[in-house]
Structure 1
Amino acid sequence: MSILEKAIQSAQQSEVSFSKFIKPNDTGATGGHQAGFHMHKNSWPLFFNSPGEKGSNKDHYVTIRWQDDFETSSRFIYYGVGTRNEYRLTRFGRGFPYLTDDNVGDLLVLVKKSADFFEGYVLSSDEDIEDFFAALNISSTETNGIIPKQVEQTSEDRLLQCFLAYVKSLQVDFPPTIDLANNARTCFISSYNITSNQIKSNPDKELLNWLEAEYSLFKTIENDRYSELIRTPFQSVEELVKSANTILNRRKSRAGKSLEHHLEEIFRISELIFQTQVTTENNKKPDFMFPNIESYNDPKFDENKLVLLASKTTCKDRWRQILNEADRIKTKHLFTLQQGISKNQLEEMNNYGVQLVVPRAYLSSFPTEHRANILTLEGFIEVVYATQT
C-alpha cells in the first residue's frame, strides 16, 4: 500500500483528522519564533478537549508515527501569553525530514488514532495531493483545518444514485419492462447489499422490495421524461387527455409484466425448474409451468408433480381466466398482489381448484377462516421444491 493510500485510509477511519499545506512559516524560513508546524485555531480538537484561552499557555505531548515508518515524541502547544495567540506542533528531533524549504507546498496530514497517538503523512506530488482531496471530498481551499467527516452514504442514497445513473444511460424514452425490472432489482440488491441467501430465506419480503424499487425507478424516469411536458401549458383539453392516457396506459402495462419478471428471478434463485409462457391446450399460455412443458406433454409423467402458477397484480374479477390454462393440472395456483377478497369469492375459487399465493405481509388482509388455504410465496416455493426432489 502506498503512502497516499495509507493516508487516505487512515483519515477515513479516524474520528478527527487535519490537513494543511506546509508554508515557509512552518520551516522557520520567515524568521518566526521557531520551527514547527503552525496549526489553525480550529485545529484544537486534535489535541485538546477545549480551545486555548488567551492569557495562558497549555500543551499536550503525543507520539506521531510518520509515513508508517518512524515515530517522534512531539508537543502540541497553545501560546496565549502576551501578544501571542496561536497553536503549534513542535519537537520532532534532530534530522526530522519534513521541515525543510523543500517541503514548502507539501500537504501535511495528521490523523488522531487515540488521545496520545497520531499518524502523520506528508504528500509531495501534485497527483497525490489531488487524489487525497478527491478521496476525502475536500478542495484545496478547505485545507488548514479539521477535515470534515463524510456522512456515510445510506442505502437509500445509493439506490437513488443508481437510479439516476441508469436514467442518464438510457438511449430511449422508456426501456422495455424487463430492462426496467432487471435494473431496479440490480440497483436495490447492490444498494442494500442483499445476498442470495437472504432472498431464499425471505422471498416474500424481497419481492415486495423489488416491486417498490421498480416503481420508484419508473417514476424517476417519468419525472425526467415528462418534466418539460408538465411545465408547458396544454393547448387544448384533448391534448391534455391524450398525454394523460399515454402516461396511465404505460403505467398499467408495466405493472403486470413487472410482477412476472421478479417472480421469475425469485424462482431462479430458489433453484426451481420451470418455464414461462409455454403453450398448452387451446393455445393457452400459463405464466409459469413447473417443471416444464415436456413433462406436461408426457402422459407418463406424474400429474402430482406438475404445478401451474399464474400471476396477476389484481384478481378479483380475472381469476377465472386461468381455469382452462392446463387441463392436466387440477389445482391452479394464482399469485396476486390483491389485498383482501370476499369470503364468497374465496369459497368460489376453492370450489374451482384455485389456490391463492400472496406475499406474507398481505395474508392478514384475508378472512381468518381462509388463511390456511392461502400460500405465501415461500410456502409455494416449498410446495414446488417438494415435487422436484
Structure 2
Amino acid sequence: METFLQKAIQSIQSSIISFSKYITANDTGSTGAHQAGFHIHKNSWKLIFPEPGIKGSNKDKYVTIKWQDSFETSSRFIYYGTGTRNEYRLTRFGKGFPFLSDENIGNLLIICKKSDEYYEAFVLKTDEDIDDFFAELNISSTDTNGIIPKQFEQTAAENLYECFLKFLSSLKIDFPTTIELAKNARNCYNNAYSITDKIIKANPDKEILNWLDAEFQLFKTIENDRYLKRIQTPFETVEELVITANTILNRRKSRAGKSLEHHLSEIFNTFSISFASQTVTEDNKKPDFIFPGLDAYLNPKFDNKKLFVLAAKTTCKDRWRQILNEADRVKTKHLFTLQQGISKNQLEEMYKYDVCLVVPKTYLQSFPEEFRSKILTLDGFINEVSTRQ
C-alpha cells in the first residue's frame, strides 16, 4: 500500500506547482489570529493566482481539494489586502476537518496544484516521513513555507557558486565528510558575503540558517556532478537502481543529521564558549553538546547549575524524548531544532519533562503565543551559557 509520503511526492511530480509548510499555531487559530486557516506565504502567490494580490482590496478563489488521496473539500483561497492586512490564506474546509486542530501543529502540509480549480493536499505527521520528504525531493527543511522547486535552481550569488565549483574540482573522493562539507560551505558563504565574527555574534540565529542553506546548495552541486551521468545511463537491473537510489537517500539523511551539530559548534567557537560534543555520559549515552565540558560534568564537585546539555535535531515532534536520559546531572535539557511549530499538548509535555526548546529567532512566531516566552533563541541560549561560564 502506498504511503501518504509516496503519494505526496508523486503528486508534486505531476503538478503545475506545489507548496509546503509546517502547520503553525497561527494556522489553527491558537495564536488568536483573525481566523483559522492555512497561511500561504506572500512569495507563493503563484500557487493561487496568475498575479499577486493588490494592497487595498481582497480577492478570492474557490477550489476543490482532495486530502490524503481520500476526501475532498470545497475550499477558498483568499488574499486579504484591506485595512492593515496583507496575507494569503486557505480557508473553508467543512465540519470535521481533521488537520486544523492543535495536534497538527508541526506537521508538514503539502499543496499541489493540478488545475486552476483542483488541488491535492497531504499532511505528513512523523519525523521520519518529513525527513524522507526532504531527502527524496532534495530540498532543505529551511526551504519550507514556499514553492517547492522541481529541479536544481542556482539561487546563490555568482561568487558563492564559483567557490563551490573550486571546492568541487579539488575533491579527490566522491563525497567529502559531513564536517568537511559544512566547513567549506561556511567558508564559501562567509567569504562571498564578507561575514565576520562580529556579524556572527550580532545575529547567530540568522547566520546559522544562512550556513545551513549554503551547505545544502553545495551538497546539491556535488550530488548533481557525481550522479548526473549515472542516472542518464540505463540501469541493467532493478537491484542496481535500488542500490543507487538508497545510496543517494542515505547520504542525504546522514548529511542532514550532522549538519546542525557542525554549524552549532562553529557558533559556540566564535563566541569562545567552552563545550564538548559527542562525549559519553551515563549508560554510554552521547549528548550532542555538554557545557563547559566532560571534565566538569564528571567532576562531582562542579556546580550542577553551571552545566548545560544541548541536543540538536532538525525535527523533534517525536524524537525529543530521546534526550531525556542523556545526562543525569542536568535537570533541564535544551534542544535546538529547526522544527517550525509544535502543538500545545506536546509543548506542555516537553516542559513537564524539563525540555527547553531553542529555535532560530525567525521561527518563534510559528509556536503558540503563550509558549514563546519559554522558548529560547540561539542568541538567548548563548547568553545563558556565557553568563554561567
TM-score band by shorter chain is 0.5 to 0.7
Determine if the alignment matches structure 1 residue 195 to structure 2 residue 196.
Answer: yes
In the alignment, the residues of structure 1 paired with residue 237 and residue 376 of structure 2 have an alpha-carbon distance, to the nearest angstrom, of: 50
SS at match of 2:241: helix
Partner of 1:249: 250
1:381 deviation in Å? 0.2
1:219 maps to amino acid: K
In the alignment, the residues of structure 2 paired with residue 200 and residue 322 of structure 1 have an alpha-carbon distance, to the nearest angstrom, of: 28
Partner of 1:378: 379
Partner of 2:295: 294
SS at match of 2:274: coil
Partner of 1:281: 282
Alignment of 1:1-389 (within 5 A): 156-388=157-389
TM (normalized to structure 1)? 0.59
1:295 deviation in Å? 1.1
In the alignment, the residues of structure 2 paired with residue 368 and residue 244 of structure 1 have an alpha-carbon distance, to the nearest angstrom, of: 42
Post-superposition Cα deviations, 1:136-161, rounded to whole Å, max 9, x if no partner, equal xxxxxxxxxxxxxxxxxx97111000
1:226 maps to amino acid: Y
In the alignment, the residues of structure 2 paired with residue 183 and residue 350 of structure 1 have an alpha-carbon distance, to the nearest angstrom, of: 37
Contact 1:307–1:384 at 8 Å: present in 2 too? yes
**Bigger Cα Rg:** 1
Post-superposition Cα deviations, 1:40-86, rounded to whole Å, max 9, x if no partner, equal xxxxxxxxxxxxxxxxxxxxxxxxxxxxxxxxxxxxxxxxxxxxxxx
2:330 maps to amino acid: I
2:282 maps to amino acid: E
Post-superposition Cα deviations, 1:189-210, rounded to whole Å, max 9, x if no partner, equal 0000001000011000000000
Contact 1:155–1:191 at 8 Å: present in 2 too? no
Contact 1:289–1:309 at 8 Å: present in 2 too? yes
In the alignment, the residues of structure 2 paired with residue 155 and residue 352 of structure 1 have an alpha-carbon distance, to the nearest angstrom, of: 41
In the alignment, the residues of structure 2 paired with residue 345 and residue 207 of structure 1 have an alpha-carbon distance, to the nearest angstrom, of: 26
Contact 1:358–1:377 at 8 Å: present in 2 too? yes
SS at match of 1:226: helix
In the alignment, the residues of structure 2 paired with residue 230 and residue 346 of structure 1 have an alpha-carbon distance, to the nearest angstrom, of: 43
1:307 maps to amino acid: F
Contact 1:155–1:192 at 8 Å: present in 2 too? no
In the alignment, the residues of structure 2 paired with residue 361 and residue 296 of structure 1 have an alpha-carbon distance, to the nearest angstrom, of: 32
1:292 deviation in Å? 1.0
2:261 maps to amino acid: E
In the alignment, the residues of structure 2 paired with residue 383 and residue 333 of structure 1 have an alpha-carbon distance, to the nearest angstrom, of: 11
Q: CA-atom RMSD, angstroms?
A: 1.2
2:349 maps to amino acid: E
1:236 deviation in Å? 3.3
Comparing 235-244 with 257-266, greater Cα deviation is found at 235-244
Post-superposition Cα deviations, 1:251-303, rounded to whole Å, max 9, x if no partner, equal 00001111100000000001111111111111111111100111111222111
SS at match of 1:175: coil
Post-superposition Cα deviations, 1:311-336, rounded to whole Å, max 9, x if no partner, equal 01111111111101111100000001
Post-superposition Cα deviations, 1:221-241, rounded to whole Å, max 9, x if no partner, equal 001001111211223333222
Contact 1:310–1:334 at 8 Å: present in 2 too? yes
Contact 1:314–1:336 at 8 Å: present in 2 too? yes
SS at match of 2:302: coil
* Structure 1 gap segments, 5+ residues each: 1-153
In the alignment, the residues of structure 2 paired with residue 155 and residue 328 of structure 1 have an alpha-carbon distance, to the nearest angstrom, of: 44
SS at match of 1:249: helix
In the alignment, the residues of structure 2 paired with residue 295 and residue 234 of structure 1 have an alpha-carbon distance, to the nearest angstrom, of: 55
In the alignment, the residues of structure 2 paired with residue 250 and residue 368 of structure 1 have an alpha-carbon distance, to the nearest angstrom, of: 37
Count of matched residue pairs: 235
In the alignment, the residues of structure 1 paired with residue 317 and residue 362 of structure 2 have an alpha-carbon distance, to the nearest angstrom, of: 19
In the alignment, the residues of structure 2 paired with residue 288 and residue 195 of structure 1 have an alpha-carbon distance, to the nearest angstrom, of: 24
2:363 maps to amino acid: Y
Partner of 1:8: none
TM (normalized to structure 2)? 0.59
In the alignment, the residues of structure 2 paired with residue 266 and residue 158 of structure 1 have an alpha-carbon distance, to the nearest angstrom, of: 23
Partner of 1:149: none
* Structure 2 gap segments, 5+ residues each: 1-154
Comparing 205-214 with 276-285, greater Cα deviation is found at 276-285
